[in-house]
């Protein structure tokens, strides 16, 4: 086997290296400590390769001859410019030139493993993965070239480590699914061979941390990646399983506690359809899980109304009833009466809808229904108020949580006028509407209840006549129709005539619709459009609210915390501008001219030359200062370690990669309430 690897790359130096640099690099490579699990035979073979490279490059005569052959090569793994060769006319000449190409001739399995190890140390993770997988795919070898058990273990270890590092590179580039696949490949390899348990555990923990990022990325790829949504759902179900359910408290390594995970689930709902959520959360109902039961009920209700499917509404009604019954049997209270009331309304059960509504302790929502009812042309009409409340609840609270119905209007008249809806409801005539019996009990999720008074506060608007209205309604002849069809016609008349003269009264967010749902909803997050996906590498995918607003942060005096935020924002923007995507627009968020123009030009140059860099940074703030008479200008001095890998045409160039620690001064200025950098000065190299 021939592997493209030359002596300079083995040592880790460019062709122009001096004799002193070669000596130093050789000693440094010898002092490097490869993975402790590697066998002694592979380590000795690695040293033999280093010795061979050093022997040639440290001798001026041998090096001169080697360099001459090196320059004949068209070998371009490092991305160095190739030397133009005369056109080769004959096959003999081609063979002669090929003989000079710098390659390692691998004659023994031990040499092959040593070569893979050196490629791994050079950061050639994809090349190691390709070569290693080829070896595993063809295990049969000639006699004398078989891999012994220690050699086999070394191969698996080097391949797994390369997959891990390759995954980390993808992670830094914000390619989360590619990162997960790479790390998962290495993890699965260790699992299949039952080797290196500690390493396998560490890789598994990293896969758990990647999981939320992968789910978000896959959900955003619905329109152009065929299997993105099934894969995202599969990963999410895996998280459910590890945590013991949506509201489970079993530990995993995702970095999300119970509340953060509930917020995470709330975020991703906007990227899933009604049927996808119905299937996803419906499977979790049997765990059992109260949160899953509520979410599955919401999905069935949204689907039933939006797609004119009363049977789905029946299913939702059964889930809400099961949730209520299960908690009542345990002495708890799950107030989902309003959800049940809306289901009954959509099934034409008007009396039941009113009775369920009256059981609810959600005082804000009840007050809202009263307000709508009071706007009736004659006497207050609770059915009319409930219809208007249901319309607004569906549009403002329920539909925005589903991708396929997010912008749909809740037109009750059209729903009941639908021939298919009428036929389905009429088929229920004379028989009990089917609904699932409660079969499971469960413990309530965290913060299942909210503290609230069991009675409506006497100083609330309209509350003084609430009991009178209830008793007045009961004294009146019950509203009965001869058939379900006539009930539907009655509702159509109500919603078509009565509601047309009712002005919409906006009460903001529907807090209190469900105590259960309060654990999932951010009171400030209700919106009709899906939010954009925003992830940070070193933070959970769900941002935790802080008491201080971003505007307050911008107005505050320059201090160490703000100074560190400025420096880290700059380093992140730099990594984006010089990274594989060449996102120069990120620079405008932190730099001012002329520094901004200078770095934008550099980013453009990188893009034109098909080059990019990958960075890893650590920052220590030394001091922050500003003049009392001008707090909008200041100075931040920091120690910054920057590890950079340089790539050209997709190949890493070690000679232009570096690891440096600098002491840097940042001159900062506040513009439009935001801190920006106007000058950067390297004070010294440490």
Residue 106's pLDDT is 67
Lowest pLDDT segment from 325-339, 430-444, 504-518, 597-611: 504-518
Residue 460 main-chain phi, psi, to 5 deg:
-75, 150
> Which of 327, 247, 221 has its CA nearest to residue 520?
247
**H/E/C letters for each residue in 344-360?**
HHHCCCHHHHHHHHHHC
d(CA 323, CA 250): 23
Tokens at 339, concatenated: 């959800």
Q: Domain 2-139+148-191 has what CATH class?
A: mainly alpha
List helix spans (H) across 452-594: 466-475, 484-493, 550-555, 560-577
Stated as kind and residue range, the H or E segment containing 627 is strand 611-627
- According to DSSP H, which parts of 494-589 are helical? 550-555, 560-577
Is residue 652 left, alpha or beta, with left meaning phi > 0 and alpha meaning psi from -120 to 50? beta
**Res. 285 pLDDT band, cuts 50 70 90:** very high
Looking at residue 556, its pLDDT comes to: 54
Identify whether the C-beta of residue 201 lies closer than 8 Å to the C-beta of residue 164.
no
- Cα separation, 73 vs 81, in Å, equals 11
Which residues have C-beta within 8 Å of that of residue 69, sequence separation ≥ 6?
100, 102
Q: Residue 12 pLDDT more than 90? A: no
Who has greater pLDDT, 91 or 383?
Answer: 383
- Round to whole Å and give the CA distance between 50 and 30: 8
Cα–Cα distance, 248 to 261 (Å, whole number) = 10
Q: Which residue has the tokens 């009709």?
A: 528
pLDDT in tens, 669-682: 998 778 999 999 88
pLDDT band at 602 (very low <50, low <70, confident <90, very high): confident
Q: What's the chain's average pLDDT?
A: 77
Identify the band that residue 400 occupies on the pLDDT scale cut at 50, 70 and 90.
very high
Task: Take residue 380 and report the two structure tokens written for it.
Answer: 């207050």
Residue 513: alpha-carbon gap to chain centroid: 29
Which backbone phi and psi does 592 adopt, to 5 degrees? -120, 160
Helix boundaries (H) for 435-583 = 466-475, 484-493, 550-555, 560-577
Whose structure tokens read 């070896």?
A: 135
- Whether the per-residue pLDDT at 77 is higher than 50: the answer is no
Count of CA atoms in the C-beta half-sphere (13 A) of 265: 24
| Residue 562 binned pLDDT confidence (cut-offs 50, 70, 90) | confident
pLDDT exceeds 90 at position 327: no
Give the pLDDT band (50/70/90) at residue 5: confident
Q: Give residues with Cβ within 8 angstroms of 267, minimum separation 6.
A: 531, 541, 542
* Phi-psi label, residue 125: left if phi above 0, alpha if psi -120 to 50, beta otherwise: alpha
Dihedral (Cα; 279, 280, 281, 285), 10-degree rounding? 80
* Helix ranges restricted to H, 74-196: 91-98, 109-121, 125-137, 149-172, 176-193
The band of 454, judged by pLDDT with boundaries at 50, 70 and 90, is: very low
Structure confidence by residue, pLDDT tens digits, 300-320: 999 999 999 999 999 999 999
- Percent of the chain exceeding pLDDT 90 equals 41
Q: Is the per-residue pLDDT at 72 higher than 70?
A: no
DSSP conformation letters of 185-222: HHHHHHHHHT--HHHHHHHHHHHHHHHHHHHHHHHTTT
Q: Does the pLDDT value for residue 593 go beyond 80?
A: yes
Q: Provide the pLDDT confidence category of residue 561 given band limits of 50, 70 and 90.
A: confident
Candidate from 47-56, 168-177, 513-522, 659-668 with smallest mean pLDDT? 513-522
Phi then psi dihedrals of residue 500, to 5 deg: -70, -20
- How far, in Å, CA of 213 to CA of 175, rounded? 9
pLDDT above 90 (res 484): no
Pick the more confident residue, 339 or 658: 339
pLDDT tens for 202-222 read 999 999 999 999 999 999 999
Both structure tokens of 238: 């895996």
pLDDT at 580 over 90: no
For the chain, the straight-line distance linking the first and the last C-alpha, in angstroms and rounded, comes to 44
CATH match for 550-685 among 3.40.50.970, 3.10.450.240, 3.90.1150.170, 3.40.190.10: 3.10.450.240
Which residues, in sequence order, are CB contacts of 332 under 8 Å at separation 6+?
444, 448, 449
Of 517, 230, 310, 273, which is closest to residue 405 (Cα–Cα)?
273
User: How many Cβ atoms sit within 10 Å of the Cβ of residue 586?
Assistant: 20
Residue 147 has pLDDT above 50, yes or no: yes
Nearest residue to 677 (alpha-carbon basis) of 577, 580, 562, 578:
562
Residue-range domain boundaries for the chain? 2-139+148-191, 275-519, 550-685
Query: What is the arithmetic mean of pLDDT over 529-533?
Result: 39
pLDDT of amino acid 605: 82
Angle of the 595-608 helix axis to the 560-577 helix axis, nearest 10: 30
Q: 80 and 151 in contact (C-beta within 8 Å)?
A: no
The rounded distance, in Å, linking the Cα atoms of 40 and 60 is 32
pLDDT score of 141? 64
Grouping H, G, I as helix, E, B as strand and the rest as coil, residue 554 is helix
What integer pLDDT is reported at residue 34 of this predicted model?
A: 85
Burial status of residue 297 (CB atoms within 10 A of its CB: 0-12, 13-18, 19 or more): buried
In three-state secondary structure terms, 611 is strand
pLDDT of the residue at 355: 94
pLDDT at 81: 32
Structure-token pair, residue 406? 């997010």
Provide CB contacts within 8 A for 503, sequence distance 6+.
Answer: 375
């Amino acid at each position: 086997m021939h592997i493209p690897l030359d002596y300079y790359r083995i040592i880790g130096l460019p062709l122009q290296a001096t004799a002193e640099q070669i000596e130093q690099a050789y000693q440094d490579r010898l002092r490097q400590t490869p993975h402790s699990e590697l066998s002694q035979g592979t380590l000795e073979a690695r040293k033999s390769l280093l010795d061979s490279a050093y022997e040639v490059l440290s001798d001026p005569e041998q090096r001169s001859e080697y360099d001459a052959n090196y320059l004949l090569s068209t070998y371009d793994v490092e991305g160095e410019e190739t030397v133009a060769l005369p056109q080769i006319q004959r096959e003999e000449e081609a063979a002669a030139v090929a003989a000079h190409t710098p390659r390692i001739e691998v004659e023994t399995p031990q040499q092959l493993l040593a070569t893979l190890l050196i490629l791994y140390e050079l950061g050639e993770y994809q090349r190691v993965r390709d070569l290693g997988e080829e070896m595993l795919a063809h295990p049969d070898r000639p006699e004398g070239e078989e891999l012994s058990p220690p050699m086999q273990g070394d191969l698996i270890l080097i391949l797994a480590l390369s997959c891990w590092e390759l995954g980390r590179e993808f992670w830094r580039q914000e390619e989360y699914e590619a990162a997960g696949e790479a790390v998962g490949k290495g993890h699965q390899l260790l699992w299949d061979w039952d080797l290196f348990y500690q390493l396998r555990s560490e890789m598994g923990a990293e896969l758990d941390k990647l999981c939320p990022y992968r789910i978000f990325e896959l959900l955003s790829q619905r329109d152009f990646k065929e299997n993105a949504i099934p894969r995202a759902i599969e990963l999410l179900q895996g998280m459910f399983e590890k945590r013991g359910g949506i509201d489970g408290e079993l530990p995993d390594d995702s970095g999300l506690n119970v509340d953060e995970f509930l917020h995470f689930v709330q975020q991703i709902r906007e990227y899933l359809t009604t049927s996808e959520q119905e299937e996803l959360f419906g499977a979790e109902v049997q765990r059992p899980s109260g949160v899953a039961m509520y979410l599955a009920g919401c999905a069935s209700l949204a689907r039933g109304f939006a797609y004119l499917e009363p049977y789905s509404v029946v299913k939702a009604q059964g889930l809400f009833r099961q949730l209520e019954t299960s908690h009542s049997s345990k002495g708890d209270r799950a107030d989902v009466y309003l959800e049940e009331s809306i289901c009954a309304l959509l099934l034409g059960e008007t009396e039941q809808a009113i009775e369920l509504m009256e059981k609810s302790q959600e005082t804000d929502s009840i007050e809202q229904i009263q307000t709508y009812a009071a706007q009736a042309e004659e006497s207050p009409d609770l059915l009319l108020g409930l219809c208007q409340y249901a319309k607004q609840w569906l549009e403002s609270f329920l539909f925005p949580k589903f991708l396929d119905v997010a912008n749909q209007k809740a037109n009750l008249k059209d729903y009941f006028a639908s021939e298919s809806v009428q036929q389905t409801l009429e088929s229920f005539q004379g028989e009990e509407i089917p609904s699932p019996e409660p079969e499971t009990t469960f413990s309530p999720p965290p913060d299942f209840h909210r503290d609230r008074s069991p009675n409506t506060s006497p100083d609330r608007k309209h509350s003084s006549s609430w009991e009178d209205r209830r008793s007045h309604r009961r004294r009146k002849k019950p509203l009965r129709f001869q058939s379900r069809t006539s009930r539907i016609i009655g509702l159509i008349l109500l919603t078509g005539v009565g509601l047309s003269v009712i002005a919409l009264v906006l009460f903001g967010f529907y807090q209190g619709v469900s105590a259960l749902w309060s654990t999932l909803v951010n009171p400030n997050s209700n919106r009709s459009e899906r939010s954009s996906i925003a992830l940070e590498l070193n933070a959970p995918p769900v941002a935790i609210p802080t008491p201080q607003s971003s505007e307050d942060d911008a107005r505050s005096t320059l201090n160490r915390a703000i100074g560190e935020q400025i420096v880290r924002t700059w380093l992140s923007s730099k990594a984006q501008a010089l990274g594989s995507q060449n996102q120069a627009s990120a620079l405008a968020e932190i730099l001012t001219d002329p520094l901004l123009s200078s770095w934008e030009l550099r980013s453009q140059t990188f893009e034109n030359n098909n080059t990019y860099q990958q960075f890893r940074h650590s920052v220590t703030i030394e001091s922050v200062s500003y003049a009392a008479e001008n707090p909008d200008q200041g100075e931040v001095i920091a120690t910054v370690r920057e590890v950079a890998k340089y790539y050209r045409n997709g190949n890493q160039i070690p000679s232009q990669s570096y690891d440096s620690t600098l002491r840097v001064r940042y001159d900062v200025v506040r513009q439009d309430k935001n801190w920006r950098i106007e000058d950067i000065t390297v004070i010294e190299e440490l």
